Amino acid sequence: MNARREFFKAAGLAGGAVAAAAVSRVALAALPEAVSQSSAQTMAPLLPESGRPYNPVVTLNGWTLPWRMRQGVKEFHLVAEPVVREMAPGFKAHLWGYNGQSPGPTIEVVEGDRVRIFVTNRLPEHTSVHWHGQRLPNGMDGVSGLTQPSIQPGKTFVYEFVARRAGTFMYHPHADEMTQMAMGMMGMWITHPKAPHPWIAEVQRDFCFLLNAYDIDPGSYTPKTMTMLDFNLWSWNSRVFPGIDSLNVRQHDKVRIRVGNLTMTNHPIHLHGHEFQVTGTDGGATPPGARWSEVTTDVAVGQMRQLEFVADEPGDWAFHCHKSHHTMNAMGHNVPTLIGVDHRGLAKQIGQLIPDYMVMGERGMADMGEMDMPIPDNTAPMMTGQGPFGGVEMGGMFSVLKVRKDQPHGNYQDPGWYQHPTGTVAYEWTGALAAPARSQSGGAAAMPSGNMPAAEVEVQVRKPPARSPSGHAEH
């Protein structure tokens, strides 16, 4: 079978370009072609034309790696290399990844498949690939130094094992990990069940993506790789809202979403309008008796969670990490809280020295979404995205589950904004407002304080100190 032809057929929900890497004829005979992807768009599912059949996944802002069958073995070719990843429209990052993108392509196989993966290293340093969560021979586990020598630049290594267990897995280097993961080297691995499995439901939509994080200063291109916790870009598959595609489903579809976390902190993933159950973890399918319904599930570092629900509520439902600073894009965040601080006098004084001086945040931060301040050339606005009713004021780990009655079966195109039935949208009250009933009690009725100060104390609010360009207070 011709993996490349199949790939071209399936590629491109919105016409994303695909470039095949140049491989010599000699190399082609020995190695499967290293297909490369130049687009950051969500690609249509790759329907299997060889091997056991399965219902493929859709990788959010990603794609599935084509393979070739050779004497009953599924052969893939991963190329570890520097890539340019568009993290949002107008914002490109210089990352490391696989086959043209970060994250790398999703690898999809079927339980029982014998899999052979060629890994070519085009990075400036050694690497390895660890197949996170797999049952495999120890020497195929990809821990450089421990289970194999590392793959030096220019070298190609071969991994081979049987995909023994159905489930959702990840791959990433186990060599100079802090640098290589901070640079975006990771991907997903899906092993589909070979036969109907009592704990694995048939679904109509099957999405997957990785949680990842970067520290890229506004206006620059390359992540800071020494950052341990204080990342400023919280991404899904190396995309930040509004660059993350929506998850488009047909009403009453059973939907599975597989989420893997390769950041350095946990992410409570929250879905609006529906309850879901966690039907699988890194350890495989969860027994049905051990499941419960929830609307937020925490995905810890190095974990995978598989969510399932029936999308029976039509609409545009927010789907996001519930840490509010993870739904924001790059910003300087050593900023004092200014809500309620009256700095009109201060602004006026500074304005005499710096004509463009502007104070931010005195009514909250929502202004930032609408202000349209000039930002450095290569970054994403901090809180942005336009919905049908105005600014969404989000960034980072945020997307929308679009549930539509008329979304065709198996069609993943964005259906546009939801048309709300008349009378089903929150509206402004324009009638008379009654005066609020306020208690006249001075307090202390329910729980009298035993230790009141002798006199009323007034709290003095001090203006924030001047900030140096490095963000540290000057003393």
Interface with Cu ion by CB under 5 A: which residues? 267, 321, 323, 326
Closer of 136 and 233 to Cu ion (Cβ):
233
Cβ at position 325, least distance to Cu ion in Å = 8
C-beta of residue 67 within 8 angstroms of C-beta of residue 245: no
Contact predicate 214/232, CB 8 Å: yes
Nearer to Cu ion, 197 or 323 (CB): 323
User: What is the smallest separation between the CB atom of 375 and Cu ion, expressed in angstroms?
Assistant: 23
**Residue (159 or 231) nearer to Cu ion, CB:** 231
Q: Which of 294, 295, 292 is nearest to 319 (CA)?
A: 295
Q: Is 143 exposed, middle or buried (0-12, 13-18, 19+ CB in 10 A)?
A: middle
The secondary structure of residue 200, as a DSSP letter, is: B
151/269 with CB nearer Cu ion: 269
Smaller CB distance to Cu ion: residue 151 or 392?
Answer: 392
Token duo for residue 330: 């790059």
Angstrom distance (rounded) from CA 88 to CA 383:
13
Measured from the Cβ of residue 76, the count of other Cβ atoms closer than 10 Å reads: 23
Classified as helix, coil or strand, 160 is strand
Residue 194 pairs in a beta bridge with none
Residue 58 or 321 with smaller CB distance to Cu ion: 321
Q: How many residues are listed for the chain in this entry?
A: 475
Alpha carbons 46 and 3: distance in angstroms, whole number: 10
For the bound state, the minimum distance from the C-beta of residue 181 to Cu ion, rounded and expressed in Å, comes to: 16
Give the whole-angstrom CA distance, residue 233 versus residue 325: 10
Distance CA 243, CA 325 (A): 17
- Shortest spacing between CB 322 and Cu ion, in angstroms: 7
DSSP 204-243: SEEEEEEEEEE---TT--S--TT-SS--SEEEETTB-BTS
What is the closest distance, in whole angstroms, from the C-beta atom of residue 398 to Cu ion in the complex? 10
Our CB check for Cu ion shows the closer of 74 and 267 to be 267
How many CB atoms neighbour CB 138 within 10 A? Answer: 9
Of 243 and 284, the one with the shorter C-beta distance to Cu ion is: 243
Cβ density class 310-326: b for 16+ within 10 Å, e for less: bbeebbbbbbbbebeeb
Supply the minimum distance, in Å, between the C-beta of residue 326 and Cu ion. 3
Smallest distance from the beta carbon of 361 to Cu ion, in angstroms? 22
Residue with Cβ nearer Cu ion (317 or 398): 398
